[in-house]
Structure 1
């Protein structure tokens, strides 16, 4: 194994390129002429030492920010990602995480990654039209049948195509994180589309999600994640649509009473890296980052399953009532929207691939 610079510097060598004994150190034998063999060996040793003493590659320091709490499965998976990247790059890459929206909410973080002031972020696929229009696939109501179907899509050819699709932002998708199925919840029971009529429902800032809620008869209110609790508490909104863990991680169970498993979409989170940062990485480092992201997604999937179970139990203790409405009326109300997506030349081939998965 080649010696590191530190190892070469810590071990004195003699004219034969061998570790010196105590009586050989310093100038105790200044008049002893070196042999030709010793000169050659010594020259080779010093040449090798010179090569090894070249400056190490500059450290790559990446900043990764998101708006979720530190206890969230996505944050814990990202910690694993950071550890893997550091270990496998030999410390050449370090990733510093910023949670809880300390650097801004999702739209702000995406802007920072696009402009190169932030290296990486996590964003919901619902807001990633800025990366590629293919991400709109996940906003199509009731396209994904169940969790097993979702896994086939994100781990197969459709998911890989979406992550690798070039877009106007230049951001690169690294992996999908499980964010469960999205359903409606609020102060009142929701058993059919008519129960949403006139309600103000928070949605992510996605035109597709706004239209979906409007088609169901409610008023769509786009709001960033960090203000949803206050909006529910003050009555600015009557309800929201999100996955089960929002009840606990967002504390929404404190200010809502009914959660209806409509499961209208299954929108993953996406780990993204900026174009400038990605271009600056050497190909071997890119491979390390991609592999670490994929492994962090596997861990996150297991953490997510536990989080959903714990979230439901915690929400029930706070008095939230869970229901399972018939999905057929919701599907029927949104069928025209689905047909329109099929006429989109960008999405239609991908939708057909997903439906056949």
Structure 2
């Protein structure tokens, strides 16, 4: 009988089997997918810890067929370029608050005094209406994996903000966010868009007299050394949107897709729990530093921001704004 010899075996007899081994290695390597994940938060931030948890779970759940490579600290660009990169496919997964490339209507969740507290936010995000909002970017090639809190924004100046009159005419630093700028105008404050890294100096030199920070930023950036009164108003909630290039997601096998989605869901749940403890610890540290923390009666402020809702109802659609507001109120 004649023995059939494969081409690989013939070549193996000539070059000591290197070709066969190499072919097997190439086949194995090509079956692995590495997802590039980028965000602008620091490597020691809660956001990055969440991404590390996500990456580890994805690798384990897919038995290493999918791996996640994390690029923190804006290594691949700030939030806007990250969103653009995910849309173009040069980045696979991104996080951030910049949503113009995805869908500007996502900013609807940052309307003033829309949410009472974090529990209210999370119930909305998990509701049918919240899920509809998260699907807004799919037409542009984005798949939302989840939403992580960037957090509520407060008022901080040299004295407690008790009524809207306490903000009237005050120069306050804000990011260049159209909703925040419109809200500050409605409250009578004079908004100044100053880069994040220049805020401490701007406060110290009295270029501005106030800020509207998220509590962790207020502590981490040591703004409390200059303005030592923090008024808890929860006047605007902002998101770290967590999104993926839809074509790259569709490239994965159904089992891999399920693993990515479950890992993202598990990470969101973990992050929410950690966030609650982080805020409690941060407020305690601020009070130990001599910061006076007060709670604002928001009712008089809410009346003044109605024009903000009117403005963005015209831009994004009255039906969307009304549906989101109703769902947020009912949670």
**Is the counterpart of residue 269 in structure 1 residue 240 in structure 2?**
yes
Judged with a 3 Å threshold, the aligned counterparts in structure 2 of structure 1 residues 202 and 95 are, in CA distance, closer, same or farther, namely: farther
SS in structure 2 of the partner of residue 268 of structure 1: strand
TM-score relative to the length of structure 2 = 0.82
CA distance in 1, matches of 2:206, 2:248: 42
Counterpart of 2:14 in structure 1 is none
Aligned partner of 1:356 in structure 2 is: 330
1:99 to 72, 75, 88: 72
Q: List runs of 5+ in structure 2 lacking aligned partners.
A: 10-19
- Give the deviation of 1:60 after TM superposition: 1.8
Q: Is 1:155 aligned to residue 126 of structure 2?
A: yes
Distance 1:107 1:281 in 2: 26
The answer (yes or no) to whether the contact 1:137–1:351 under 8 Å persists in 2 is: no
Deviation per residue, 1:202-234 (Å, 9 max, x gap): 333321111011111122233454544454445
Corresponding position of 2:27:
55
Task: Report the equivalent of 2:88.
Answer: 115
What is aligned with 1:347? 321
1:178–1:166 Cα change, 3 Å? closer
Normalization by structure 1: what TM-score?
0.77
Matched, 1:333 2:304: yes
| Structure 1 unaligned blocks of 5 or more | 1-32
Deviations 1:81-116 (A, max 9, x none): 010111112212221222233333222322332333
Report the structure number with the largest CA radius of gyration: 1
8 Å contact kept, 1:200–1:218: yes
Q: State how far apart, in whole Å, the 1-side matches of 2:69 and 2:149 are.
A: 22
Q: Which residue of structure 1 lines up, in the alignment, with residue 156 of structure 2?
A: 185
Distance (whole Å) between structure 1 residues aligned to residue 77 and residue 49 of structure 2? 19
C-alpha offsets along residues 238-270 of structure 1, whole Å, 9 cap, x if unaligned?
332232211223333333311111111222322
Contact 1:130 1:167 in 2 (8 A): no
8 A Cα contact 2:87 2:101, kept in partner: no
